[in-house]
Amino acid sequence: MGLKAEPMTRVLIVVPKDKVPAATSALYDLQLLHVHDHVEGRDGLALGHPLKGASVASEMLIRLRAMIATLEIPEVTVDMRRPITSLMEELEAKFDHLEHEIETLGDNRNRLRAETRNIEQQMKNLEPYISLGLDLDVYRDYETLEVIVGNLTGDPWKVLRNAKIPFELFKAKDASKTGLFALFIEQDRTDEVRAIIGEFNFTPVPSFEGKGDPRTMRVRLKEKLAKVNSSLEEVELDLKTIRKVHGESLFAAEEHLSIQIEKAESPLRCGSTPNALFVEGWVPTKRMADLEGTLTDAVGDSYHIEVLTDEELTGHSTAAVAADGGEPTSEEEEEAEHFDTSKETPVLSTNPEGFKAYEYLIKLVSTPRYDEIDPALFMYFTFPLFFALMVGDIGYGITFIILGFWMLNSKWKGVGIVTGITRRRLTKMIMMSGLFTIFTGLMYGEFFGLELFGTHGLVWPHYLYVPALDVYLPINRLEQAMLMINLCIYIGIAHMIHGLCLGIVNTNHHHGLKHAILGKFSWILIIIGGYFVFRILFTADEVVMTEPVMMSGLILMITGIIMLIAGEGGGGLLELPGIVSNILSYTRLFAIGLSSLGIAMTFNTLGGIMVSKGGAMIIVGLIVAFLGHFINILLALLAPSLHALRLHYVEWMTKFYTGGGREYEPFGRERIYTEV
């Protein structure tokens, strides 16, 4: 369960030409076969040709999509799926008429929209002329005069006077437009004047075609705009009515036609000869019978199905190269030998629903390969554990669970990539982590940053002594820092050895037992041996090399290093310091928790001081403490989960995970709006 991907069988289906439409249609509706796309010329097979009817359907689909675009239909949700026969009959009967109607209305709407924009632009252009107050005819049609209308800052008029340029100036009447002006000058001095006003940030105002008082003009434009807007509303109302009546059926027809086209174009993904079509792909092994049954129902006996084994596939590729052009070269042969089923075979994970959230998190790195261990199963336990060791607070744990229940029942749809089913899964993951957090909270004796029990416990000022482990419970994280660091290192060593064990399984499968032992088992020896050696070096008062623990540690470590060099060469030694930092990295389980605890305690102290002052400060103090914990809970969702993930991604998964698999995407798609 969960560890391995669903077993897949690679099959080759051969269908005679006349049965292709029935066969592809059946396969599409079955949604079971992951089609391996054919490459032109492979095995001497050409690409298939699209079925008849594809081009007709395409044309209809294009027209349909244009209609949907014109109607501006948003994504609709329907409660009832429509049967396709009646749907298409209905649509064909009304198609041309409906299309004509929608097209006309759409054109009208676009024209009216353009007109509205145009009038609005004109009204905007008219604004400065209203402020200037002159009749619109005044600005045009002179033989010797030039009119400049625009905005500027400062006072160029003195300069014009000094240059002895004759001019007449009109300024805007309202105070808000001080820079607006209309300037009348002689035509032959235009360049001179433009050069002068150019230095005063001159920007021209677009000219306005029209006659008479600009205010009358504005009234006229307003009337025109109102008229256009009312006809636009009418057209949009018509379109809305059509949308209401036909929208859903158009949407459903779009889906059906898209499916028709996908079916019709499916031979393009397969190999073909003049008389037959060769479909190659993968099927979940346990559903082979379904596939064969469906094909028999669709085309009777006239198909041939063949299961391809790995050996056949390798030979198969070589044959392809040879068929292509004479003898295969040694390079091509090598390539054929390395035909990697683990990379090519699509992966359908067998994880139960509860593990899917972790599957999602693993896919953020890479999809597992077909024959690789899927780490989701282990993460289901270790992720909440790490998270809980960091947060470790009874109160926060309860809050996470309540938050989870609220998220599951609320109408909030989530943001970004965390929507739909992913949101539900991640929510359940948070709730699970909350449950673990309550347990670690009991272990630390913490409740919203307060010490509930333990040495200075508020409720139960006692502790338990566990002689076997020489540990006092609950662990006070502030006072027993050394114990926590040790605990983290033990967890780190255990987690990494687990990762290396998975690495042995994976490497054994891919490269054989020798590689697995030299490359992965050697690291386990190094970690265990190294632990004893370093432990003595750091804690013992006197280091005696001949002491049995020290000796066995050294022997394990050196054996491991020799095996590593034998397996991976001298380069492997470069990774030795890395393993130390990997293990120390697990101390974040303590460090992140300390910072979370620090924030909680700070706000408790702050709130406590305020409450002790009495009066209205009691309320302020409670609010401060509440806000502090609120922020801390948000931070706790972010930092510990990221660091727990990081421990999995960087320290753990690098020991065994390759990834780069291909996801199982069966040919066909689910009908949402229609039914057969």
Partner 1 sequence: MVDIGVGYGMIAIAAGLAMGLSALAAAIGEMAIGSAAVGATAEDRDMFGKGLILTVLPETLAIFGLVVAVLLWLKIP
Site mask, partner 1, residues 355-384, x = CB under 8 A? Answer: ------x--xx-------------------
Q: Give 169 or 481: the residue with its C-beta nearer to partner 1.
A: 481
Please state, in angstroms and rounded to a whole number, the distance separating the CA atoms of residues 365 and 659. 8
* 581 interacts with partner 1 by CB under 8 A: yes
* 424 interacts with partner 1 by CB under 8 A: no
**What does R_g of the chain's alpha carbons equal in angstroms?**
39
* 520 interacts with partner 1 by CB under 8 A: no
* 662 interacts with partner 1 by CB under 8 A: no
In degrees rounded to 5, what are phi and psi of residue 203?
-125, 125
* 416 interacts with partner 1 by CB under 8 A: yes
Q: Give 372 or 651: the residue with its C-beta nearer to partner 1.
A: 651
* 574 interacts with partner 1 by CB under 8 A: no
Nearest CA to 267 among 443, 464, 82, 17? 17
Site mask, partner 1, residues 617-656, x = CB under 8 A? Answer: -------------------------xx-xx--xx------
Beta-carbon contacts of 370 under 8 Å, excluding residues fewer than 6 positions away, are 5, 8, 341, 342, 343, 344, 345, 346, 347, 661
Please state, in angstroms and rounded to a whole number, the distance separating the CA atoms of residues 599 and 505. 43
Q: Min. distance of Cβ 632 from partner 1 in angstroms?
A: 18
Please state, in angstroms and rounded to a whole number, the distance separating the CA atoms of residues 577 and 584. 11
Q: Give 93 or 580: the residue with its C-beta nearer to partner 1.
A: 580
* 421 interacts with partner 1 by CB under 8 A: no
Residue with tokens 């070096």: 537
Please state, in angstroms and rounded to a whole number, the distance separating the CA atoms of residues 459 and 478. 19
- In the chain, the amino acid numbered 109 is R
Q: Could you tell me the maximum CA-CA distance found in the chain, to the nearest angstrom? A: 115
* 415 interacts with partner 1 by CB under 8 A: no
3-class secondary structure per residue, 15-49: EEHHHHHHHHHHHHHHCCCEECCCCCCHHHCEECC
Stretch that binds partner 1, among 54-62, 196-204, 587-595, 665-673 (CB under 8 A): 587-595
Q: Min. distance of Cβ 211 from partner 1 in angstroms?
A: 53
Q: Min. distance of Cβ 542 from partner 1 in angstroms?
A: 20
Count residues near partner 1 (CB under 8 A): 23
Beta bridge partners of 8: 284
Q: Min. distance of Cβ 589 from partner 1 in angstroms?
A: 10
Site mask, partner 1, residues 451-490, x = CB under 8 A? Answer: ------------------------------xx--x-----
Q: Min. distance of Cβ 413 from partner 1 in angstroms?
A: 16
Q: Give 219 or 421: the residue with its C-beta nearer to partner 1.
A: 421
Please list the helix, strand and coil fractions of the chain in percent, rounded to the nearest 5, in that order.
65, 10, 25
Beta-carbon contacts of 299 under 8 Å, excluding residues fewer than 6 positions away, are 15, 19, 22, 23, 26
* Interaction site with partner 1 (CB under 8 A): 361, 364-365, 416-417, 481-482, 485, 581, 584-585, 587-588, 590-592, 594, 642-643, 645-646, 649-650
